[in-house]
Amino acid sequence: MQIFIQDAPASAQDPGAHEFDDVMIIVNIVKNFVPPSPADTSSQALVQAGKKAIKDYQQKFNDPNTPGRYIPIPAVIPSPVHPASPLPVAILGAGVSGLYIAMMLDSLGIKYELLEGSRRIGGRLYTHNFPTSQGKYQYYDVGAMRYPDTSFMQRTFDLARNRLGLQDKMLPYIRGNDNAFMHFNGISMTKAQVKSTANSADLFKFSQSNDGNVPDSYVAAGSDVFWNKILGNLRQLFVDHPFDVAFKKLQELDKHTVTSYLSFVEGIPYDVIKWYETMESRTGLFDASLTETVLASLVFNDPRFEGKEIDWYCFDGGSEIIHKAMTEKIHTKPTLNYRAVAFKETDNGASITVTFDRSGGPRQLPQTDRKYSNVISTMSLACLRVLDLDNVYLTGGQRCAIRSLAYTPSIKIGVQFRTPWWEKLGIVGGQSSTDRPIRDIVYPSYGPDDSHIGSQSFRKSSCMIASYSGMQDSQRMGGLMKGRGTPEEKILLDLVIRDLAAVHNLKPEVLWDEYEDYFPWDFYRDQFQLGAFCQFGPGQFKNTYPHLTQPASRQQRLHFAGDATSTFHGWVAGALNSGWRAVMGLLQNHPELNPNPSENIIEKFKSIWGPSEEWDPKDLAVHNYIAQQLAEINPKHP
C-alpha cells in the first residue's frame, strides 16, 4: 500500500466539520502498488541539471519580450506531416548507444542500417585480451570497467540483467584495498599503514616545515578535506534543503571551476589547491566545472545514503560481453569500415545522404554515398567535428557545441605479468595512487582462475592496469604512445616498470623478470573517439546541452546521441539514455516511419523501453517543435 497525506484546512473538506489547529490527514490505501526505490541524489541532480537547462532554453523562445526569438508554443504540438519514406534510418557508430538504438528500432519494426567506421564493434566498451597469455582472466577493460548499482545506472542494469541475461556474468568490483599503496614525494606506504599511524598529518612531507610548500595547518587537516568537507558541504545541501532548493543553490555556483571556487569563495591558497589536486584528483582536472565535479562526486558518495554500501560490479569476460550480447540480439548486424565523412540534405530535405570512406578496410575502396530517411549519429562530438557539415542545416548553437565541448584526455596501460605478484603483497582489487607519472594503478577484481599455468586457485589475473590517468597526466604519457617497438614506447614501458617498482617498494629487475606483455591505449589518439568522454565546463549545461538534444537539418532528420548528449557523462547509462531520447525524438518528428499506422508507436515504445528519467515526452515534443520552427524561420543554409 501507499499512504498519501494531504495538508488542508478542515473546512475545505467539510464545511460543517470542527476546526483543526494543524492539518487534516486523509489516508488512501492503494492496493498492488510497489513504490519505487528513492533515486540517489546524483541521479536527481544530474537529471535536474538537464531539465532546468531545457526549461530555460524553451522559455527564451516562448517569451514575447525576447526580440527576434519569439516562437509561441501551442498547447498541443502538431504532428509533422511527411510522406512515407521507403528509406532506412542510419545509425552511425556501433558502440553501446548505437547498438541500443538498433535494439529499440528492431522492437518497433523500423528499418535501419548500423554503420561503424572502425574495424571493431563496441566503441568505449573495449576489452583487450592479451593474445599470448593463458587463462580465463588475462584481459583488462580499456574502456568502461565498473558499474555502481544505483538508480543512476538503472537503464544499464536493466539492459544487462533483463534484456541480455548477463546476471550470472556480473562479478563484484573491488574498489578499495587497505594493502594497496599511496606513494607521494618518493615515500611509499600502504593505506593500512597511513590509517594506523597516530600522527599521519605529514607522512608524505608536503608541509612547509618538512621542506614542502603547503602551510602546516592545511597539511594537518589532511588533503581529504577537499573531498570530505569542501565537496561534502556542497553535497550536504541535498540533505539540509528540499531538492529543488539545494539544486538552485548549487547552480548559483555554475560559473566556477573547481580552482576558482577554492580560490575566490573558500579563500584557499594556490599551493594548497595544487596539493588537493595531486592527492585527490588528476592534474588539471580542477579547471573543470565545479558543479559537474560535485555531481560526479555524488555518484561515489551520496550523503542521503550515508552508511549504506553501494554494490559495484564488473563483468566476467570484461565489458565487451555487453556489446557482444547486444550484437547477437539485433536483427541487422553492424557494417564495419564505413567511416562517415560528409552529410548532405537531399530530395529537398526529405532525406540525408551520407558519404562514407571505406579505405580503412582490408580492400582499397572508393568513397560511397548512401541515402537515408534519418540519421542518428552516436559519434563523439570530436569525431563529428571533422565531418563535412556544410550541406546540412545546424543551428548556431549546435555548431558551437560541436566545436567547443571538451573531451577529457584519458589513458590506460595494461601490463601482462607471468604471475600476479601483487597478491603476495595481499592486494586483490582496489587501486594504488601516486604522484609519479603513472598516477593510478588498478588491480583486477576478477576470479578465481585455475586455468593460468602455474597458478593457484586463489589467484585471479596476472594482468593489471599499470597506469590509469587523465587530463595533463595522460597527455604527457600519451605523447609517448607511438607504436610498439618505437623508441618512444620503449621509454614509456621503462617508465611504467620503474614507477610500479617504486610504488610497491620493489626493484625494477624483479618486475622485468615478471613482465610478459603490455597494451597502452590513449582515447585522444583513437581516430574514432578523439577523446575519452565529454566534460562540461562552467555554464555549458545551460548553454550547450539544449542544442545537442535537438534534431538538426531542415526537416529534423539528423539526430545526436551518445553520452555527451545526456546528463550522465562518461557512463554507459548516459549513452543508453541518449539513445532513448534520440528514438523518441525520431518517432515524434517522423510518424511516417511507423510500419503499422493503426498502432500507436510512441505508446508501444514507452511500454517496451520504459520512461526516461531525463526526459518527459511532452517536454521533448516542445524541444523538437522549437527545432522545427527555427529551421523554418532562419535563412537557408548555404
**Residues recorded for the chain:** 638
The beta strand positions in 50-186, using DSSP E, are 89-92, 112-115, 127-129, 139-141, 147-148, 170-172, 181-184
506 pLDDT more than 90: yes
**CB proximity list for 137: less than 8 A, separation 6 or greater:** 444, 446, 447, 449, 452, 460, 461
CA distances to 139, 161, 174, 434, 515 from 415, in Å: 9, 31, 19, 17, 8
- Who wins on pLDDT, 546 or 553? 553
What local confidence, expressed as pLDDT, does residue 120 receive? 93
H/E run at residue 357: strand 351-357
> In 27-42, which positions are buried (b, 16+ CB within 10 angstroms) versus exposed (e)?
eeeeeeeeeeeebbbb
H/E run at residue 387: none
What local confidence, expressed as pLDDT, does residue 259 receive? 94
- Who wins on pLDDT, 602 or 571? 602
What local confidence, expressed as pLDDT, does residue 467 receive? 96
H/E run at residue 490: helix 487-503
Query: Under DSSP, is residue 543 helix (H, G, I), strand (E, B) or coil?
Result: helix
How far is the C-alpha of 86 from the C-alpha of 491, rounded, in Å?
56
Grid coordinates belonging to 367: 568513397
- At residue 102, what are phi and psi to the nearest 5 degrees? -60, -40
Helix axes 231-240, 290-300, angle to 10 degrees: 70
Q: Are strands 440-442 and 368-372 parallel, antiparallel or unpaired?
A: unpaired
Contact present, 614 and 47 (Cβ < 8 Å): yes
Q: How confident is the model at residue 376 (pLDDT cuts 50, 70, 90)?
A: very high
Contact present, 43 and 305 (Cβ < 8 Å): no
How far is the C-alpha of 589 from the C-alpha of 79, rounded, in Å?
7
The stretch 475-485 carries a mean pLDDT of: 90
Q: How far apart are the first and last CA of the chain?
A: 60
Contact present, 127 and 317 (Cβ < 8 Å): yes
The stretch 21-46 carries a mean pLDDT of: 46
578 pLDDT more than 70: yes
> Which of the given ranges, 64-68, 303-307, 439-443, has the highest pLDDT on average?
439-443
215 pLDDT more than 90: yes
279: left (phi > 0), else alpha (psi -120 to 50), else beta?
alpha
Per-residue pLDDT tens digits for 395-445:
989 999 999 888 888 899 999 999 899 999 999 899 999 999 999 999 999
How far is the C-alpha of 222 from the C-alpha of 43, rounded, in Å?
29
How far is the C-alpha of 565 from the C-alpha of 546, rounded, in Å?
9
- At residue 494, what are phi and psi to the nearest 5 degrees? -60, -40
What local confidence, expressed as pLDDT, does residue 16 receive? 39
- What percentage of the chain carries pLDDT values higher than 90? 53
- At residue 519, what are phi and psi to the nearest 5 degrees? -150, 105
Nearest to 323 by CA among 533, 49, 626, 116: 116
